[in-house]
Amino acid sequence: MGKLVALTLLGASLALIGERLLAFRQRINASREVEPVELPNCQLIEAIEAGSEDIDILPTGLAFISSGLKYPGVPNFAPDEPGKIFLMDLNEQNPVAQELKISDGFDKASFNPHGISTFIDKDHTVYLYVVSHPHLESTVEVFKFEEQHRSLVHLKTIKHELLESVNDIVVLGPEQFYATRDRYFTTFFLLILEMILDLRWKYVLFYSPKEVKVVAKGFSSANGITVSLDKKYIYVADPFTKSIHVMKRHDNWDLTQLKVIQLDSSVDNLTVDPATGDVLAGCHPNAMKLIIYDPRDPPGSEVLRVQNVSSEKPQVSTVYANNGSVLQGSSVASVYHRKLLIGTVFHKTLYCEL
């Protein structure tokens, strides 16, 4: 009798997981075909072959690019190399990517950069905040950028019990930032289960030396995060629900949700077009192919533009789309003077005209 109950329970659980798996595949458009949308004068950036997960461009046109992410369940083309930060000067006619030197005294071997965010202080000093996963933990590393020497000087490591499975960060003041948590579990099997069962345990937190708190929760996954040009709104990408959450900032740093913009693509990272305030989203049109990687049937890339984000009817349009023959797994797109730089989780980097 006991055996029968156990078998029935096992059968029921498997059926439930099977049903949820199908629902999950549908939710992330597992096998969606990508209709190409092309841009003029695209070129792949040499030197970057192992991902360009995040890109942040300074108002002066210097672009920081994080590369070499190692994360459970995500392919990596340079598993034995530590992560890197590249710099590109987008004012140049044919910009090249140059690896930034990192000062001694920082454990470069375990550097595993993910989301990045720049911050410029009153004295015009540029700081680069980097989410890193040394030994698969989560830290926020603070660097000072020395333009003359093309180097990063490590200033400090920020750790906190709420800074778990951090994906992305947006810095709004000296050591004051919002960060997203993209997963609850870290082991691959539990992570898959978490995705399939759609456990909405992920959050956005606010960090400052004085106070650390969860300011928004209930995300299926909280991934890219960025701030509007007027700094009043925070945009959070949820790839599993294919949506962008528009949140209002309060004086005490709390966030309240204003609306959710539904897309048809698993949105990864967000940037804001400095000229228009539009949101640009690096998306995975068929995210399942990213998780189960097959080079013969690779994941595609898609860049969406959301205009009039704060109006009643934001308009979504496709800026770029490719089936993976040129660019696989786009995670971010950033604009500077009508040029578009598209980064990927583990593949190349594409530079196009708009």
Ligand X SMILES: *[C@@H]1O[C@H](CO)[C@@H](O)[C@H](O)[C@H]1NC(C)=O
Which residue lies nearer to ligand X by CB, 43 or 308?
308
| 107 belongs to the binding site for ligand X (CB under 6 A) | no
Q: Are 169 and 179 in contact (CB under 8 A)?
A: yes
Helix (H, G, I), strand (E, B) or coil at 212: strand
66 to 105: interface string for ligand X, x by CB under 6 A:
----------------------------------------
| 114 belongs to the binding site for ligand X (CB under 6 A) | yes
Q: What is the dihedral of CA 46, 48, 54, 58, to 10 degrees?
A: -40
Size (the chain), residues: 354
Applying CB under 6 A, which of residues 169, 204, 247, 283 lies at the interface with ligand X? Answer: 169
How far apart are the C-alpha atoms of 94 and 194, rounded to whole Å? 44
Which residue lies nearer to ligand X by CB, 102 or 306?
306
Q: How far is the CB of 328 from ligand X (least distance, A)?
A: 10
Applying CB under 6 A, which of residues 49, 176, 264, 274 lies at the interface with ligand X? Answer: 264
Q: Are 329 and 299 in contact (CB under 8 A)?
A: yes
| Angle, CA 191 vertex, CA 178 and CA 221 arms, to 5° | 35
Q: How far is the CB of 54 from ligand X (least distance, A)?
A: 3
Return the structure tokens found at 68: 């070499």
Q: Of all helices (H) and strands (E), which one includes residue 194? A: helix 188-196
Region near ligand X per CB under 6 A, out of 8-16, 53-61, 92-100, 142-150: 53-61
| Angle, CA 260 vertex, CA 257 and CA 263 arms, to 5° | 155
| Residues annotated as part of the active site | 114
Residues 6+ apart with CB under 8 A from 28: 239, 240, 242, 266, 284, 286, 287, 288
Region near ligand X per CB under 6 A, out of 7-15, 22-30, 39-47, 203-211: 22-30
Residue 184 CB coordination number (10 Å):
16
| 278 belongs to the binding site for ligand X (CB under 6 A) | yes
| 32 belongs to the binding site for ligand X (CB under 6 A) | yes
Residues 6+ apart with CB under 8 A from 48: 65, 67, 86, 97, 348, 349
Which residue lies nearer to ligand X by CB, 148 or 241?
241
118 to 157: interface string for ligand X, x by CB under 6 A:
----------------------------------------
Applying CB under 6 A, which of residues 226, 301, 344, 349 lies at the interface with ligand X? Answer: 226
Q: Are 235 and 245 in contact (CB under 8 A)?
A: yes
Residues 6+ apart with CB under 8 A from 234: 170, 178, 204, 225, 226, 227, 228, 246, 247, 248, 249, 255
Return the structure tokens found at 296: 């013969």
Applying CB under 6 A, which of residues 36, 173, 174, 218 lies at the interface with ligand X? Answer: 36
Applying CB under 6 A, which of residues 48, 53, 140, 202 lies at the interface with ligand X? Answer: 53
Region near ligand X per CB under 6 A, out of 105-113, 168-176, 211-219, 250-258: 168-176
Q: Are 216 and 324 in contact (CB under 8 A)?
A: no
Q: How far is the CB of 264 from ligand X (least distance, A)?
A: 5
Q: Among residue numbers 294 through 313, which ones bind ligand X (CB under 6 A)?
A: 297, 307-308, 311
Applying CB under 6 A, which of residues 52, 112, 117, 138 lies at the interface with ligand X? Answer: 117
Applying CB under 6 A, which of residues 83, 115, 299, 329 lies at the interface with ligand X? Answer: 115
| 113 belongs to the binding site for ligand X (CB under 6 A) | no
Q: What is the largest CA-CA distance in the chain?
A: 76
Burial class (CB in 10 A: 0-12, 13-18, 19+), 6: exposed
| 269 belongs to the binding site for ligand X (CB under 6 A) | yes
Q: Give residues in contact with ligand X (CB under 6 A).
A: 26-27, 29, 32, 36, 53-56, 114-117, 167-170, 224, 226, 264, 269-271, 276, 278, 297, 307-308, 311, 323, 325, 331-332, 334
